[in-house]
Amino acid sequence: MPLPSPLLGRPGAVEGSGADAGVAAHYGDPLPEQRRLESGQAVADLSHRGVVTVTGPDRLSWLNSLSTQLLLGLAPGESTEALFLNVQGRIEHDCRVVDDGAATWLLVEGAEAAPLAAWLDSMRFMLRVEVADASAEWAVVGAAAEVPQLAGRTVWRDPWPGVAPGGYSYSGPEHPAAGRVWLEYLVPAAELEAAVEGLPLAGTMAVEALRIAAWRPRLGFETDDKAIPHELDLLRTAVHLTKGCYKGQETVARVHNLGHPPRRLVFLHLDGSLHTLPGVGSDVMLGEKAVGRITSAALHHEAGPIALALIKRNVDPAADLVVVDGTERYAAAQQAIVAPDSGQVVGRQQGFLRKR
């Protein structure tokens, strides 16, 4: 969709920055917006997101051969998540996937749409598929509940934090986001203003706070050029462990069955006495030693300042950490998302880690 979004013309709108530029970070009331979004009383303008379409009779079998997810037989309206990895098993693209019976829609970060479409187009060979970057023609609207006003439109339903068929959980048996609902509706860009007319709006600050509280990884934030799915608990929704060959599968299988991921994602409760948030990339310290970095941070309407961080796997999950951003130091209590003993599944008794 052409940016900036027309919804930035709404009263109080303040534009986001970085990956969320082009849409509103908030409309003047960040925390009330967050509460309304969480309770299903508001929607979020995500028209800065990328949309890639794949059409043709071979689309699902072709995408299945390239991705980490089992897409054969994906029913119209069914949602899933799929990763495209490099040969070392590192994450290159993370796609929210839904098929409408005629096209497969891949919802991605805005900056990812063009390179993803170009790469997919280069992989078509003689198959009956067509790939298009449709970001200019389509907008995305996010919601934490069904929106009757948007009924009948193609919608992606986030499977997180469920454990999809063929997936595996690297976190504990109780997930704080159990029962979570997150929907992303596809709306023609030209109809965006009319589609949300009369609906309260929430900005991306609200979306991010709810995402972080749900331990939900985001491409470009929780990922870097070394990230593998195991580190982020993405085996639960984005990887089918027995689907067959795809690029990077050897690494996925080896780490899961025989090894351990080198890093693990953690949720941090931050000291709120500074009334600020650490920046992305801030060091996470154990004593005088840097053991990781902040990947996302937000002010939650109930939990206060919270963050996600990637840290070394062997850091004691009971240890108190400190986040350092310049001269500011934030005490941080960690909550394990990926268990320190994740991986090495072959020969071990099942218990803390769960599969489907």
Output the domain CATH number for residue 286.
2.40.30.110
Structural domain includes residue 356 = no
Percentage of the chain surpassing pLDDT 70? Answer: 97
On the question of pLDDT at 355 being above 60, the answer is no
Whether residue 33 is predicted with pLDDT greater than 60 in this model: the reply is yes
Give the whole-angstrom CA distance, residue 170 versus residue 307: 19
Q: Report residue 73 as tokens.
A: 């037989």
φ/ψ of residue 325, rounded to 5 = -130, 100
Q: 316 is written with which tokens?
A: 């004691």
- 326 found inside a domain: yes
Q: Which of 149, 138, 245 is nearest to 190 (CA)?
A: 138
Do 204 and 280 have their domain in common? no
pLDDT in tens, 63-100: 999 999 999 999 999 999 999 999 999 999 999 999 99
d(CA 18, CA 21) in angstroms, rounded, equals 5
Q: How far is CA 26 from the centre of its chain?
A: 20
The candidate with the shortest Cα–Cα distance to 138, out of 83, 87, 205, 185, is 185
State whether 170 and 85 are in the same domain.
yes
Residues 321, 177 share a domain = no
Question: Of 151, 185, 213, which residue constitutes the final position of a domain?
Answer: 213
Give the pLDDT of residue 174.
85
For tokens 């990328």, the residue is 50
Q: Is 174 annotated as a binding residue?
A: yes
Of the listed ranges 168-177, 192-201, 254-263, 321-330, the one predicted with least confidence = 168-177
User: Could you list the residue range(s) of the whole structural domain that residue 160 is in?
Assistant: 6-213
Q: Note whether 39 and 172 are same-domain residues.
A: yes
Same domain, 268 and 169: no
One domain for residues 60 and 209: yes
Question: So what's the pLDDT on residue 131?
Answer: 98
Q: Do residues 209 and 297 both lie within one domain?
A: no
CA dist 81 and 193 (Å) reads 28
Is 73 a domain residue? yes
Domain count for the chain, please give it: 2
> 279 with 186, same domain?
no
Q: Is residue 222 part of a domain?
A: no
Characterize 111-128 residue by residue with b for buried, 16 or more Cβ atoms within 10 angstroms of its Cβ, and e for exposed.
ebbeebbeebeeeeeeee
The continuous run of DSSP H or E covering 209 comes out as: helix 204-213
pLDDT of residue 356: 57
Instruction: Kindly report the number of other CB atoms within 10 A of residue 248's CB atom.
Output: 22
Identify the CATH number of the domain in which residue 67 sits. Answer: 3.30.1360.120
Q: What are the residues facing 298 on neighbouring strands?
A: 306
